[in-house]
Structure 1
Amino acid sequence: MTGYTLRAATPADLPAMREVIRSNFNGLGAPDPGSKLHLVLDLARYLLTESDGRIVGTAGALTRDLAVPGAVIPAAHVTAVTVSPVHTRQGLLRRMMTEQLTTVPEAVAVLWASEGRIYQRFGYGLASQNVTIRADRREVAIRGTIGTGAGHLRGAAPTEVLKELSEVYARSLAGRPGLSSRSDAWWTFLTTDLESERDGHTATRAVLFENADGVVDGYTRYRVRSQWDDNGPKGEVNVVELVAATPHAYAALWRFLLGVDLTRTVVMGLSSVDEPIFHMVDEPRRLAGKVGDGLWLRIVDLPRALTSRKYAAPVDVVIEVTDALLPANAGRWRLRAGAGGALVNCSPTDAPADLTCDILELGAAYLGGTTLGTLAATGRVQEHRPGAVAAASTAFGWHVAPVSIEIF
């Protein structure tokens, strides 16, 4: 770090930050002067590295809550981590990431990784996966009558129905690990539809599902890209998100998306690995699901993190943990959870270890999507007491897979 200065950002840094972040992510053109980024920034949580008075590195964190198994907890949403190309290999990234992780007040941090190999070095584990659906809508139909006759659909501009969107999302948040809380500012950020960000699509549209009592139980936000060839229309529906509080709402919204006129393909890039649509259609392979990585999670304060979530089964296990970056997490910890997932305790112990792993593996298992059994099969979790992996893997699991439906 010789010749470099690390400091917190100030409002005066915002124009230069936009330019540096866009440039370091190889964005085209100049930053949009109408950028909506200011709506959600907490500049005090952005670290900047300077060289000769110029910003050459950034690392930010957004203040949001995260749904975890059985709870919703504060989580540092790490974003905009960059180093200018001519300043790489100088230890700047490690300095910023270390400073960030040793100072964030939250017990866990999450991020979307530009490259997974980067963040595993800092103890982030792959905690969720996302599925991209690319459905040929002429080859897929929903079986049965679910989603028909149980309510009706209503179209609107997203900004006209913010109240309904936010209420449905709030109802769904706690039940799906991986979802992030949305303040009014976040809803404004998400629904500010800049033409420069549409990439050839229409403005974002919203469709709501209202049940027979007039209650909105689900919504989808989507865009359409028009395309034609010699045989006629072949447009694409791009699903920004679909959130439903009931199976009927979910099915009705999917029926709508698969029936949009003048289109041939429905693309949904941030689906879960257990997305119900795969079990509702007559030909699931025509959904063309492709799995990719989702959220990466880092446990910052181990006992606080492990006592903040619920567990799917009773467990009493001693885990020996290594953590090269945050040594307070290292050592042996006894985790006890009772029937119904109620937490009893997580405390240091001198008892023999039942399992050994790095903090990365606990981060990967934290949301219930990556099992300790799978990690044990890779050799990254070692079992010292027969049956310990099976018991702990069951306890850390959850009845639904985690998913994050927005990239931050």
Structure 2
Amino acid sequence: MTDVVVPGADDFDEIAGLLALAFHETPDQELLAVERSVFEPERCLLVRDGATAVAHAGAFTRDLAVPGGSVPAAHVTMVSVLPTHRRRGLLTGLMRRQLRDIRDAGREPVAVLWASEGRIYPRFGYGLAAQGVTIGCDTTELRLPEPASAPGTLRLDRPGPHQPELARLYDRARAGRPGWSSRDERWWGYVLADVKSRRSGATERRVLLHEGPDGLDGYALYRTTDDWDAAGPRGEVRVDEVVTTEPEAYLALWRLLLSVDLTRRLSYRGAVDEPLLRLVNEPRRLRAQLTDTLWVRLVDVPAALAARRYATELDVVIEVTDELLPENTGRWRLVGGPAEATCTASTEPAGLACDVRCLGELFLGGAGLAALAAAGRLREVRPGTLAAAGPAFGWDRAPAAMETF
């Protein structure tokens, strides 16, 4: 791999063209203007063959909510190779260089990404850290319980004017939801941008607001489609986000979303512990399907493991192997609990042994030690360590992903 450069802001259009080819899209100027607003050229790596851009990998600077806290995380994105230059090691070279750059910068102990294909990134040490459920259901026979207390107030509007209050609510909810990414002003502009080419035949985006006794405690972003057949209306509600801090708000929002006039279908990507799965009268009707969402790579093992909290008290020595970042290879003593955690190099015998990919799967609290051991991903060196340490790596909420990036 030759001619790897850090691009400048003026290279954005060329990189966008490369991505459009790789992901089978037609460039749209309105969408490009939105994507340019969050572009960080100084965090990108571009490969040229002569004057032609042929491969690219980038990252966004954001924080990631983790069990008990938040950690700076390189949000890896815009990874692509021109079809004419596949099978030449370009992707491998870019991913290795990117990980080394992140490690050497010393700011972000983890990297996180969405995988276009799940088989690509494990070879670079990324582990499946969060899963979700996609819902595509017929709403005609779904019912939700009546509210147990006096309902709050629902309002419907365009999202833009409400961005400040949405941001405040999102930040309150994010504090308890591993996997959610931080959003500054630029990212709220990106999330709320309503680009016509991304509507796929649906309406403009709308926001449904729920106000309880103490003010705004829930919102939902969604679109609808206009569809009819011989039997009448068959519109669809396409839900993008549901954010709440109170169960009453969650129930009220979903009662409306599942009963919008002239619609008979609904689609949504939620968490594996989505309360909706427990609220509807017939869960099978939701047609929920499991899918992968976030993949996490620990770039600095001791810093990453010390940055999160643990559900129960924990004291374990883990023997880690990392072929790409050898600084992570070794034995690490992890001592932690709900209030604090430390992770330091150790010469003591290991209780567990795994590679760095396995630690990525464990990092957000969504994978169990026993399941990983059964899959051959984790080895119990000292008998009894799995049962003793297992509960600590979980959390009270499953990790979830709010948006692709």
TM-score category of the 2 structures, normalised to the smaller one: over 0.9
TM-score by length of 2: 0.97
Counterpart in the other structure of 1:323: 322
Task: Provide the rounded CA distance (Å) in 2 between the counterparts of 1:354 and 1:43.
Answer: 43
Offset of residue 292 of structure 1 = 0.4
- Asked if 1:17 corresponds to 2:18, the answer is no
State whether residues 332 and 344 of structure 2, in contact with CA within 8 Å, keep that contact through their aligned partners in structure 1: yes
TM-score by length of 1: 0.96
Match of 2:391 among 382, 390, 394: 394
Match of 2:57 among 46, 59, 80: 59
1:278-313 per-position Cα deviation (integer Å, ceiling 9, x unaligned): 111211111111110010000000010011000101
Match of 2:369 among 369, 372, 384: 372
Task: Provide the rounded CA distance (Å) in 1 between the counterparts of 2:37 and 2:387.
Answer: 45
User: SS of 1:389's equivalent?
Assistant: helix
Task: Provide the rounded CA distance (Å) in 1 between the counterparts of 2:301 and 2:76.
Answer: 18
Counterpart in the other structure of 2:241: 241
User: SS of 2:92's equivalent?
Assistant: helix
Task: Provide the rounded CA distance (Å) in 2 between the counterparts of 1:34 and 1:361.
Answer: 36
Offset of residue 139 of structure 1 = 1.2
1:157-177 per-position Cα deviation (integer Å, ceiling 9, x unaligned): 001211121111011011000
State whether residues 22 and 31 of structure 1, in contact with CA within 8 Å, keep that contact through their aligned partners in structure 2: no
User: SS of 1:82's equivalent?
Assistant: strand
Counterpart in the other structure of 1:90: 88
Counterpart in the other structure of 2:305: 306
How many residue pairs match? The answer is: 400
User: SS of 1:176's equivalent?
Assistant: coil
Matches within 5 A, 1:6-405: 6-27=4-25, 29-32=26-29, 35=32, 36-104=34-102, 105-146=107-148, 149-213=150-214, 215-269=215-269, 271-338=270-337, 340-343=338-341, 345-405=342-402
Task: Provide the rounded CA distance (Å) in 2 between the counterparts of 1:212 and 1:348.
Answer: 50
How many percent of aligned residue pairs carry the same amino acid?
47
Partner amino acid, structure 2, of 1:375: L
State whether residues 320 and 353 of structure 2, in contact with CA within 8 Å, keep that contact through their aligned partners in structure 1: yes
Task: Provide the rounded CA distance (Å) in 2 between the counterparts of 1:379 and 1:342.
Answer: 30
Partner amino acid, structure 1, of 2:361: A
Stretches of structure 2 lacking an aligned partner (at least 5 in a row): none
Task: Provide the rounded CA distance (Å) in 1 between the counterparts of 2:30 and 2:189.
Answer: 17
1:181-225 per-position Cα deviation (integer Å, ceiling 9, x unaligned): 010111111111111111101000001000134x00000000001
User: SS of 1:168's equivalent?
Assistant: helix
Instruction: Give the superposed CA RMSD.
Output: 1.2
Offset of residue 341 of structure 1 = 4.2
Offset of residue 133 of structure 1 = 1.2
1:101-151 per-position Cα deviation (integer Å, ceiling 9, x unaligned): 1111310000000011110010000000010112321111112424x6331
Task: Provide the rounded CA distance (Å) in 2 between the counterparts of 1:7 and 1:238.
Answer: 40
Task: Provide the rounded CA distance (Å) in 1 between the counterparts of 2:30 and 2:376.
Answer: 50
Partner amino acid, structure 2, of 1:231: A
Stretches of structure 1 lacking an aligned partner (at least 5 in a row): none
Task: Provide the rounded CA distance (Å) in 2 between the counterparts of 1:127 and 1:80.
Answer: 20
State whether residues 314 and 341 of structure 1, in contact with CA within 8 Å, keep that contact through their aligned partners in structure 2: no
1:217-260 per-position Cα deviation (integer Å, ceiling 9, x unaligned): 00000000111100000010000110001001100000010110
